[in-house]
Amino acid sequence: MYTAVTRRRRGAALLASASVVAVLAACGGDDSASGSGGGGGDGASELSALFTTENAQVPAALNDLAAGACKAENDALPLAIEQTPGTNMQQKVQLLAGQDALPVFFAANNPFIVPGGALQEAGQVADFDEVLTDLGVIDQVTPAARSTVDKLFDGAFPSLPFQFNIEGIFYNKQLFADNGLEVPTTWDGLLDSAQTLKDAGITPFTASGKTGWTISRWIGAYLFRAIGPEAMDAIQAGDAKLTDPEYVEAAQAVAGLGESGFFTEGITNLDFDTAQQQLLDGDVAMMYGLTSMLSKINDPELNNVGAENIGFMPFPEVEGGAGTIAQLPANVGSPTAMSSKLYDDAVGDWLTCIANNFADNVMENQGTFSGFKLSAPPENVPPLTAELQTLIDNTDETVLWFEALFPQKAVTDASNNAAPLVTGAMSADQYMQILQADVDAG
């Protein structure tokens, strides 16, 4: 459906990618240009892939597949990975696009590859819905990952879901049991549990003021439960404002956690690793986070309470709210697009192998999740990891995270002002006014 949200996103995409359009027009698709993977529509001579330097997980998994499950595909079309710092990536993509020299796979900011984005308009981005369907492996994409991609890209499928994370609250099962607590399913129940823990001398929550999303994501999760899955779409479309009472209510609910003394002391200067270690040392009962935290939860040298004593709860429902506990906040990692001009049978063979084997590889070797289904689940998967994989597999609808549709200034301010919000240095009204001003400025 072409909604007001879609119009606004596509308009933003056109503005954000105007420089790409200019480069494409100036270069005119010069067939003589060389680059990683080449261009010109003659198919690929190698499975060229351009990732950010910060993305270690996906290249590692692809190299593993090239030497193992996808060796035949790699022999036919050798994998060639190039990495560049994230700060330089979009400039490099623009340059390669202008030279008609994009690699087979490439990292790309959302505005370039959403419908209306410059690379989409230039016909340089493959449609994974069509490609994976033709290959017979579209069902290897988990419904949860597809739901997330649809929300990020206005119903299009221009990015391969190599990675997948859900968000929620990790908790100390032993502390809950010792204090007679069941996992809460409502916001009021969560507050009651936190008060019980505080009364017992246990700090209910930790978070990182230096990594402010560990606080700001609470606001988004509350909004999705109270207002519903389209809460942030309405902000981007201009149909609602973050300063509206029902949005400020969410910020106030999170500020209230701080007012009640539920957060750990010194939260302003606490870094992410230290906050997570507080959970793993048993110093606090709960922490909002991503499933990427599993790597440390499952590490016996770091987890001093034992992996068996850490559980996961979806963010609870808000009484009378339009959202449900089954709608998990999720992301699919950094966008990875594919060149439509380099797609051929050999690339298709690689894609088929990736769809069938990537999830197994990252689960076994990295203990992380992918947007693809497991084909042959590895043995000896840690219980919490297996539990979360089942939860993901059974999830049909996801919601985005709080800042997913924000302009960069709003993303930065949401993080930087999160600690002042819960320490009382900033009111909920002030916090939301700052973010709405950022959204208005674009």
Domain 47-164+333-393: state its class.
alpha beta
Q: CB-based contacts of 118: which residues, under 8 Å, 6+ apart?
A: 13, 14, 17, 18, 20, 21, 24, 97, 112
pTM of the model: 0.81
Domain 165-330+406-440: state its class.
alpha beta
pLDDT at 17 over 60: no
Share of the chain above pLDDT 70, in %: 90
If one compares 14 and 33, the residue with the highest pLDDT of the two is 14
pLDDT digits (tens, 9 = 90+) for 188-198: 999 999 999 99
pLDDT digits (tens, 9 = 90+) for 137-146: 999 999 999 9
CA atoms within 13 A on the CB side of 107: 24
pLDDT number for residue 42: 64
pLDDT number for residue 26: 42
Answer whether 109's CB lies under 8 Å from 324's CB: no
Helix, strand, or coil (residue 254)? helix
Please tell me the distance from the alpha carbon of residue 221 to that of residue 277, in angstroms, as a whole number. Answer: 23
pLDDT digits (tens, 9 = 90+) for 346-361: 999 999 999 999 999 9
Answer whether 223's CB lies under 8 Å from 247's CB: yes
pLDDT digits (tens, 9 = 90+) for 104-114: 999 988 888 98
CA atoms within 13 A on the CB side of 100: 17
Same fold? 47-164+333-393, 165-330+406-440: yes
* Of 52-56, 303-307, 322-326, 415-419, minimum mean pLDDT range: 52-56
pLDDT at 239 over 70: yes
pLDDT digits (tens, 9 = 90+) for 362-405: 999 888 899 999 998 888 889 999 999 989 988 888 999 999 99
Per-domain residue ranges for the chain?
47-164+333-393, 165-330+406-440
- What DSSP letter does each residue of 161-218 carry, written as one string? ----EEEEEEEEHHHHHHTTPPPP-BHHHHHHHHHHHHHTT-EEEE--SSSTHHHHHH
